[in-house]
Structure 1
Amino acid sequence: MIELEGLTKRYGGKLAVDNLTFTVRPGVVTGFLGPNGAGKSTTMRMMLGLDRPTAGDVRIDGRHYDRLTDPLKYIGALLDAKAVHGGRSAHNHLLCLAQSNGIPARRVHEVLDAVGLTAVARKKAKGFSYGMGQRLGIAAALLGDPQILMFDEPVNGLDPEGIHWIRHLMKSLAAQGRTVFVSSHLMSEMALTADHLVVIGQGRLLADTSMAGFIAQNSRSYVRIRTPQRERLLDVLHEAGITAVESGSGVLEIDGGKPERIGELAAQHHIVLHELSPQQASLEEAFMQLTAESVEYHAHTDTPARPWGADWQKGD
């Protein structure tokens, strides 16, 4: 379990993390979301004792990170896949970590096999692709067989097979009762992986809720209907106290409606339906809705792009 209480970090006059309080619990995959510059990386660095908080506290299973004996046995983390000595082989990189944390050498072979790097175990890390580096970083996180795991952008550089693998790895770790905390900008992947979400913006906590609860709270849900008997259905729905609005092309929409109830009414009155489908926003849409006011860097998509050098070519 990871517990944050009033965690705050200032860099000069900039408030990077602002009084964060939340708990990352075991048994579920907790997603950590926020726009660029929201303070996610700073928060994760403070969890691992790499940055000192200006105020507040963070504990790993009830203790500060710097008080953990053999920390890799408590918490494994992937923050930067490039943080490897390029002249070392994958095997020797992991062996150094194992020896410094009292981990048996046989564990090195186990995690290399688990991440699919056995065939390149003796090759130097500087020759690895980004995806191979990610796998090596994940192997390092798994090395101490810890109960807590943290991953920052774990699918970066992975091919589809690798993405499928890391997704199921995180789910299986959580199913074993471990604490799994993962930060990612890939909303589609997070929607398939996370059970719970912690969302921050401009260093402040915006949401701490289940995946389903987050989408429901930050998006519109409605029932979409198409029928050749539109007027008849509108009358039936009105009599039942249900309000439907027309959205064009003969489509009716009912906010917060229950498709089962609407289908039963249509059947009772012998109304033909060509479509009856519940609609729910995606995680990305819900995230954009919640964080709209917290985005630090805005691109202006309404400005037509001009070829690079166009002004120079005109002599401007």
Structure 2
Amino acid sequence: MIELEGLTKRYGEKVAVNNLTFTVRPGIVTGFLGPNGAGKSTTMRMMLGLDRPTAGDVRIDGKHYDRLKDPLKYIGALLDAKAVHGGRSAFNHLLCLAQSNGIPRQRVHEVLDTVGLSSVAGKKAKGFSLGMGQRLGIAGALLGDPRILMFDEPVNGLDPEGIHWIRTLMKTLAAQGRTVFVSSHLMSEMALTADHLVVIGQGRLLADTSMADFIAHNSRTYVRIRSPQRERLLDVLRGAGITVVESGGATLEVDGTGAERIGELAARHQLVLHELSPQQASLEEAFMQLTAESVEYHAHSDAPAPSQQWGDGQQWGDGWKKG
């Protein structure tokens, strides 16, 4: 379990993390979301004792990280896959970590096999692709067989098979009763992986809730209906006290009433339906809705495109210019 209480980090006048209080519990995958600059990386670094909080407290299974004996046996983390000595082989990188934490040599072979790197165990890390580096970082996190695991962008650089593998791995670890805390910008992947969400913006806690409740409370849920008997259907629905939004064409939208009741009403009045489908926003849409006021870096679609350079020194911009 990871417990944060009033965690705060300031850099001069800048407040990177502002009074965060939440608990990451075992047995589920907890997703950690926030816009760029929200304070996610700073928060994770403070969890691991890499940054010292300005105020507040964070505990790993009831202890401060710097009080843990053989910390890899308590918590394994992947924060930066590039944080590897490039001149060491994958095996020797992991062996150094193992020896510093009293972990048997055999465990290095086991985690290399788990992440699929056994065949390149003797190769230097500097020759690894981004995806291979991610797998090596995950191997390091698993090395101590810890009860708590923390991953920052774990699918970065992985191919589809690798993404499916890490998703399954995280779910399996959580099912074993471990605490799994994962940060990612890939909303579609987070929606498939996380059971619970912690969302921050500008260093403040915005949400600490289940995936289902997060989407339900931060998005619109409605039923979409299409019928060739649109006007009759409108009369029937309104006669039943159901509010209907006309969205153009033959399509209608209904909030606050289930598809089952609408279908029963249509059947009772012998109305033909071409579509009767519940609609719910994606995690991405719900996230954008919640964090709209917390985004620090905005791109603008109406920004001017860069001018195009031509080989003879001419430039196409506001007009032709001869070099």
Q: Percent identity?
A: 85
SS at match of 1:38: coil
1:165 alignment partner AA: W
- 1:254-277 Cα offsets, whole Å, 9 max, x none, are 013200111111111111110000
> Whole-Å Cα distance in 2 between the matches of residues 110 and 282 of structure 1?
38
| Residues 236-245 or 275-284, more deviating | 236-245
Q: How much does 1:243 deviate? A: 1.1
Report the equivalent of 1:182: 182
Q: How much does 1:64 deviate? A: 0.3
1:224 alignment partner AA: R
> Whole-Å Cα distance in 2 between the matches of residues 109 and 40 of structure 1?
32
> Whole-Å Cα distance in 2 between the matches of residues 115 and 149 of structure 1?
15
- 1:24-74 Cα offsets, whole Å, 9 max, x none, are 001110000000000000000000000000000000000000000000000
**Aligned residue runs from structure 1 range 232-247, under 5 A:** 232-247=232-247
1:195 alignment partner AA: D
Report the equivalent of 2:191: 191
1:314 and 2:318 are equivalent in the alignment: no
Report the equivalent of 2:90: 90
SS at match of 1:181: strand
Query: Could you say what the CA RMSD is over the residues aligned between the two structures, in angstroms?
Result: 1.3
Question: TM-score if structure 1 supplies the norm length?
Answer: 0.98
Q: Flag structure 1 segments of 5+ consecutive residues without an equivalent.
A: none
Report the equivalent of 1:113: 113
Q: How much does 1:305 deviate? A: 1.6
> Whole-Å Cα distance in 2 between the matches of residues 308 and 139 of structure 1?
45
Judged with a 3 Å threshold, the aligned counterparts in structure 2 of structure 1 residues 44 and 308 are, in CA distance, closer, same or farther, namely farther
Q: How much does 1:228 deviate? A: 1.1
> Whole-Å Cα distance in 2 between the matches of residues 32 and 52 of structure 1?
20
> Whole-Å Cα distance in 1 between the matches of residues 77 and 245 of structure 2?
50
Report the equivalent of 2:298: 298
Q: Flag structure 2 segments of 5+ consecutive residues without an equivalent.
A: 310-315
> Whole-Å Cα distance in 1 between the matches of residues 119 and 29 of structure 2?
30
Q: How much does 1:304 deviate? A: 4.1
Report the equivalent of 1:25: 25
**Aligned residue runs from structure 1 range 1-316, under 5 A:** 1-308=1-308, 310=316, 314=321
> Whole-Å Cα distance in 2 between the matches of residues 116 and 279 of structure 1?
39
| Residues 55-64 or 234-243, more deviating | 234-243
Q: How much does 1:302 deviate? A: 2.1
